[in-house]
Amino acid sequence: NFSQVTEFILLGLSNTRELQVLFFTIFFLAYAMVLLGNLLIIVTVRTDPKLSSPMYFLLCNLSFIDICCTSVTVPRMLVDLLSQRKAIAFENCIAQLFFLHFAGASEMFLLTVMAYDRYSAICKPLHYTAIMNHRVCWVLVCACWAGGFLHSIIQTLLTIQLPFCGPNTINSYFCDVPPVIRLACTDIYVTEWLMVSNSGLICLFCFLLLVTSYMFILVTIRTRFTEGHWKALSTCASHGMVVTLFFVPCIFIYLRPFSTFPFDKHICVIYTVFSPVMNPLIYTLRNKEVKASMWKL
């Protein structure tokens, strides 16, 4: 009720027409890879009874979240790259912000659960079937979605209570908390730190949990040089690549007061576009069981 702004203008990644066409081609191909690759993983895991272990169940959910997370930002960006005026309605901007943080936080929690799954399988193999049974997997996945919703609704409520009455230009290709709240016509110092303590600490906490689990796995593998453990190490290495690609940019963007840098929007491309592209590539090219099931399918 305090806002007079009805729409925001997105500046996008570039104002040069040639670069916009180049970016459209790159991101269109990347989005197509995200959809096709992750859908192929979902169909493969759901149709092959051999891929019924908790690891593949979690991988299937990760693929679904990747599709959701990318679909929040990339289709809109592709349209804007071919448009002269890149405007987004206030309500649509808030909706994009909500669903981006909903899917993004859920993915953070799910990656942490996947690391716990690998830790249980490698460090406690005799108890693994009891620790990660089918019911536990469903509970953990539902908890990831619930945690993502709680995080996102807090971010959204903190944003919509701000008055927007003047500037409406966002130096990015999508609506996110840092650039949006800086357009508010009020002091946002308290709001900034509340959001940093929410988004930033969640990123850092999940990342530290992941690093800790990998440390335990490496200590365990160092004393057991069997073929199965080397296979597990390879799986964890690919998982670590995804984690680094996803968490490091998020920590840089959200774990600081929301002073903006010109290159922030380019860093956001890493976790909104390229990280979801890497997931199907890493989890299929480095996994013989998944590749065999895909060829069979």
Q: pLDDT of the chain along its 297 residues, tens only? A: 455 778 899 888 888 888 889 999 999 999 999 999 899 889 988 888 888 888 889 989 999 999 999 999 999 999 998 888 888 999 999 999 999 999 999 999 999 998 888 888 888 888 888 888 889 999 999 999 999 999 999 999 988 888 888 788 888 889 988 888 888 888 888 888 888 888 888 999 999 998 888 888 877 777 665 555 566 666 667 677 778 888 988 888 888 776 667 778 888 888 888 888 887 777 776 677 777 887 887
For residue 3, what pLDDT is reported? 57
Instruction: Report helix, strand or coil for 261.
Output: coil
d(CA 208, CA 115): 11
For residue 229, what pLDDT is reported? 58
DSSP state of 8: E
DSSP structure string for 9-70: EE--S-S-HHHHHHHHHHHHHHHHHHHHHHHHHHHHHHH-TT--SHHHHHHHHHHHHHHHHH
d(CA 203, CA 66): 17
d(CA 154, CA 200): 13
Task: List the beta strands (DSSP E) in the chain.
Answer: 7-10, 87-89, 169-170
DSSP state of 258: -
pTM, two decimals, is 0.89
* Cβ atoms of residues 106 and 148 within 8 Å: yes
For residue 280, what pLDDT is reported? 77
Q: What is the CATH number of domain 7-295?
A: 1.20.1070.10
Domain boundaries, the chain: 7-295
* Cβ atoms of residues 290 and 284 within 8 Å: yes
CB neighbours of residue 126 within 10 Å? 7
109's CB contacts (< 8 A; 6+ apart) are 143, 144, 147, 148, 206
Cα-based torsion angle of the residue sequence 43, 47, 52, 54 in order, rounded to the nearest 10 degrees: 10
For residue 139, what pLDDT is reported? 94
For residue 218, what pLDDT is reported? 78
For residue 175, give the H/E element and its range: none
For residue 285, what pLDDT is reported? 66
202's CB contacts (< 8 A; 6+ apart) are 105, 108, 151
d(CA 9, CA 84): 11
For residue 216, what pLDDT is reported? 84
